[in-house]
Amino acid sequence: MPVISFDRKDFCKLVGKNYSKEKLEELLPMLGMEWEGSEGDEITVEVFPNRPDLLSVEGLARAFRSFVGLRKGLMHYKVKESNYELHVNKTVKAVRPIVAAAVVKGVKLTSEGIRSLMQLQEKLHITHARNRAKAAIGVHDLRAVKFPVTYAAVDPQSVKFIPLDGSRMMTPEEILAEHPKGIKYAHLINKFTAYPMIIGADNEVLSFPPIINSELTKLRPKTKDLFIDVTGTCEFTVNKALNIVTTSLIERGAKACSVLIHDGLSKKHTPNYDVETMDLNVSYCNSLLGVDFSPKRVAGLLANMGFDAKIKEDTLNVSIPCYRTDILHPIDLVEEVAIAYGYMNFKAELPQINTIGKELPVEAAANFIRDFLIGNGFIEVINWDLINEDVLFKKMNAKKRPIVKLLNPKTSEYSVVRDYLTPVILNYYSQNKHNDYPQNIFEIGRVMKLDQNESTGVLEELNLCFATAHSTSNYSEVKGVLDNLMKALKIKYSLKEVSNSSFIEGRVAEIFVNKEAVGFIGEISPEVLINFDLKIPITICEINLSKIL
């Protein structure tokens, strides 16, 4: 989840009232975020990913201001209609079709203001814009922008410009190959033959979205007016990103002017601060929360969260702020009501539902077996379900067989799912070769086998494996335990000698129940023991519990 930092004094100035750090530590989490920590007046919080509007100190202050009741209800942001024009060339349709833009004037780029703007841009890119795939924001010094600007896709070798903070002219192609930002985001556009570009009236490159701006429009200490572009693949994401950025600047005292987006067919002004509405049924809200709020009360609580609501009997027509991205369903408004009311103010109450508890039969059986084996001196161990082919096949002296394999394991050590427990038990022993013997251990665990009959293509079963390791571990000792276990489970079984390359010839048998093979028992062969770097005899019994329980 995204983390943002801000200065307490700056925050309080934006809120319009002074709050101590302690008070903020108490109140901010109740608004819906995690308090990460603080150092002096520097405060760090973790913002929930559904609230990109809180990724700036201005956005946080706006939400907090209404939450504590200093300025309740919807913020009516104004855009001055202006004649800045952005022409959209049809070449971008296939590449990165959506664009919105704004001019923001009178921006106070104090150190706090510029820091917040940079932070907001970066965090929006990562979260809301899905690492610039859905939207990318460019911020420019208006003085360097000559209108009308054009948004077009151009041949990667046809233009040259100095990328932001760069020292030489580069083609877009060179930027993708050499510039750190180019390398990082190349995958977003390098499949196209033409790259998106925002170009000024004199044919100068202003920005190469979603990669990097031009040095030409870099913000300077004296910059007061900004041109902001947002390009992308998702209209909702693009428009919301522009609204979040521009309203944050307005919160700091700036004024927004519109840009006319002109694509040859239609014209529209952006940013668009039109308010969307959604109906909230008060009884729906009350029945979910378990309360009996009047429509007026609910409207008041929504006002604490920055919403306006018109009351029509039992229904509220709620106006949603233009910077909110997370209101999909009336349930989202119910949560706003709950947060405004305060989670701690709800009276917790158990539901009056009478049901009878029941554990899984297989859990009860597994615990019966655990108790039995513990009585026989075995220690229960738990291994990862993930292991590697080296342990499953090579060390076991076994031929390869089809198993479940991961697509993207972090390490090859854990790259497949075990299909039986014996190899991981031996692996366990090899990690305990320096500890005291006897080591009589058992595991009850899931194993996976490929099986077309299952919807996932994988059959998951529960296996039991028990083993003894000490200087006189042998077949008869473990068979004695198996005999008693089967007697305890009231299961008749028989044994049949088999040949298995992991075991000593003539000392390994398959276990049959109702004519079906359900497991095996035997002494591990010296070769396999040495493969696991073990110098102690080991006898193992493994049973498929899913087949016998």
Tokens coding 546: 């899913």
In the complex, minimum distance from the CB of residue 335 to another protein, in angstroms, rounded to a whole number? 5
In the complex, minimum distance from the CB of residue 74 to another protein, in angstroms, rounded to a whole number? 19
**Residues 94-110 as b or e (16 or more Cβ within 10 Å = b):** ebbbbbbbbbbeebebe
In 3D space, the residue among 103, 100, 111 whose CA is nearest the CA of residue 137 turns out to be: 100
Query: Using CA atoms, how far apart are residues 385 and 461, in angstroms rounded to an integer?
Result: 12
In the complex, minimum distance from the CB of residue 296 to another protein, in angstroms, rounded to a whole number? 20
Nearer to another protein, 384 or 526 (CB): 384
Nearer to another protein, 48 or 512 (CB): 48
In the complex, minimum distance from the CB of residue 377 to another protein, in angstroms, rounded to a whole number? 4
Nearer to another protein, 89 or 430 (CB): 430
In 3D space, the residue among 267, 295, 261, 263 whose CA is nearest the CA of residue 281 turns out to be: 295
Nearer to another protein, 293 or 512 (CB): 293
Indicate the length of the chain as a whole number: 549
Query: Using CA atoms, how far apart are residues 95 and 152, in angstroms rounded to an integer?
Result: 10
In 3D space, the residue among 134, 147, 153 whose CA is nearest the CA of residue 93 turns out to be: 153
Nearer to another protein, 397 or 432 (CB): 432
Nearer to another protein, 18 or 456 (CB): 456
In the complex, minimum distance from the CB of residue 42 to another protein, in angstroms, rounded to a whole number? 22
In the complex, minimum distance from the CB of residue 383 to another protein, in angstroms, rounded to a whole number? 7
In 3D space, the residue among 546, 347, 530, 393 whose CA is nearest the CA of residue 464 turns out to be: 546
Nearer to another protein, 274 or 349 (CB): 349
In the complex, minimum distance from the CB of residue 134 to another protein, in angstroms, rounded to a whole number? 8
Beta bridge partners of 497: 509
In the complex, minimum distance from the CB of residue 408 to another protein, in angstroms, rounded to a whole number? 5
- Burial category of 377 from C-beta neighbours within 10 Å (exposed 0-12, middle 13-18, buried 19 and up): exposed
Instruction: Give the three-class secondary structure for 446.
Output: strand
Instruction: Compute CA 213 distance to the chain's CA centroid, rounded to the nearest angstrom.
Output: 28
Tokens coding 424: 């991981």
Nearer to another protein, 22 or 81 (CB): 22
Tokens coding 379: 């220690």
Query: Using CA atoms, how far apart are residues 4 and 126, in angstroms rounded to an integer?
Result: 12
Instruction: Compute CA 540 distance to the chain's CA centroid, rounded to the nearest angstrom.
Output: 42
